[in-house]
Amino acid sequence: MVAWFTVNIRKIRRNILLGKDLDISDRKGERWNKMFMIAIGQSKMVKKPISGILHILVYLGFVIINIEVLEIIIDGIFGTHRVLALPLGGLYDILIASFEVLALLVLVACVVFLIRRNVMHIKRFGFREMIGWPKTDANIILIVEVCLMFAFLKMNAADYILQTRGVEHYVEAGMYPVSTMLFLPLYENFSTEMLIIIERGGWWFHIVGILLFLNYLPYSKHFHIILAFPNVYYSKLQPKGEFNNMEAVKKEVEMMFDPNADPYATPPEPEEGAVPERFGAKDVTDLTWKSLMDAYSCTECGRCTQQCPAAQTGKLLSPRKIMMDTRDRLEEVGKAVDKGQKPGEDGKSLLGDYILEEELWACTTCNACVEACPVEINPVNIIMEMRRSLVMEESKIPQELTGMLTNVENNGAPWQFAQTARADWTNES
């Protein structure tokens, strides 16, 4: 199980590194602070209080309850039972009791999430990209969480009764306020043999379930459990609306403004075998590794699409779909690489086969999606790079923008009148 997980992690790392190099090693203090506030502290989740608080419960449950999983694994390896009870003393009772309360809260949160997704039909879960597997994926994880919490509480209830009966191996340790309340009336008349089966069954279900869940993560949107932390750490620190200039274009413009530049100077010969740099991005390998990490980090929560003004007005754009399409295309390219092919040899590309031009031009670059994302994903970067490809590589631009750009070139403004007439409106009575 662990080996399988390691293989999948290496493939995802390889896929991310298919992207263009990008140096994000600056301002380390700010990055650590941002990661602690947003990824660990969940500060952006609570902007939607109901779903935010429920998510924090599940998040804490995932982190804290796994402390007991360590004890379960140690007991399984060495044949012990409640091995941490003796060294922790009275603190152990408090810990087990708090784990049970937390398990109940996680169970309730997951049930509420299932209702919100499947009964209440909240709008952000109903966009076209959420039909089929994405919806099923979310439900699978929630149902598994519910089953794991039930197994945990049933195991503890059976364990408690076996302890009170003085059964060999079951040392008296821990407090079980939730499991005894829920299952004690049901189990107290069971035979010792049946209780051992229930306790061992819960133990094995928990271990196998966690290992299967671990290997399911790389195939699921829930891989953000792992990638959210580095993704927030490497997120953009500059103002959200600030775009990066392409170095080649920047040099051309600088030469135009340099009075000492020689317009007839011969540019340096490219290295033998060097591939000319593409303007913008047509496929996933034209994007930076950070944009590809963004795609794998997407939680598919839909907060970005919910806040997107283009999506709100019925346009084709959905920032969540941009990230999901990027991830799907990257997975496709990765599988081709596994077969010995080079990226792009399949004749397909992210632009055109996955993401349409209409989606790209619907974006207002307002960055509402970036602000809304709880793990600092930036769909605007991908959109702008693909726009660059359309304009600078294929000379494709919407007719509405063509007129505006022509006016800017000729008149220095987007309006269709000369600069000398720009203030004439002030003379009107």
**pLDDT given for residue 264 in this prediction:** 65
**pLDDT given for residue 419 in this prediction:** 76
**pLDDT given for residue 252 in this prediction:** 75
pLDDT at 397 over 80: yes
What is the pLDDT confidence band of residue 357, given thresholds at 50, 70 and 90? very high
pLDDT at 429 over 60: no
**pLDDT given for residue 283 in this prediction:** 93
CATH of domain 222-237+278-394: 1.10.1060
**pLDDT given for residue 203 in this prediction:** 86
**pLDDT given for residue 75 in this prediction:** 82
59 half-sphere exposure, CB direction, 13 A CA radius: 18
pLDDT in tens, 96-124: 898 889 889 989 999 999 998 888 888 88
**pLDDT given for residue 269 in this prediction:** 64
Average pLDDT over residues 22-35: 92
**pLDDT given for residue 87 in this prediction:** 85
Kindly give, in sequence order, each residue whose CB lies less than 8 Å from that of residue 227, ignoring residues fewer than 6 positions away. 293, 296, 297, 375
**pLDDT given for residue 374 in this prediction:** 92
* 390 touches 350 (CB < 8 A): no
**pLDDT given for residue 188 in this prediction:** 85
**pLDDT given for residue 412 in this prediction:** 80
Q: Where are the domains of the chain?
A: 43-219, 222-237+278-394
Percent above pLDDT 70 for the chain: 95
Percent above pLDDT 90 for the chain: 34
pLDDT in tens, 37-86: 998 888 888 888 888 888 888 888 777 777 777 888 888 888 888 888 88
pLDDT at 300 over 80: yes
C-alpha span between 148 and 143 (Å, rounded): 9
- What is the average pLDDT score of the chain? 87
pLDDT in tens, 197-206: 998 898 888 8
What is the pLDDT confidence band of residue 313, given thresholds at 50, 70 and 90? very high
pLDDT in tens, 229-276: 999 999 999 888 888 877 777 777 777 777 776 666 666 666 665 566
**pLDDT given for residue 400 in this prediction:** 80
- What pTM value is reported for the model? 0.84
Phi, psi of 385 (to 5 degrees): -65, -35
- Pull the structure tokens for residue 61: 């449950």
pLDDT at 128 over 80: yes
**pLDDT given for residue 171 in this prediction:** 83
Kindly give, in sequence order, each residue whose CB lies less than 8 Å from that of residue 399, ignoring residues fewer than 6 positions away. none
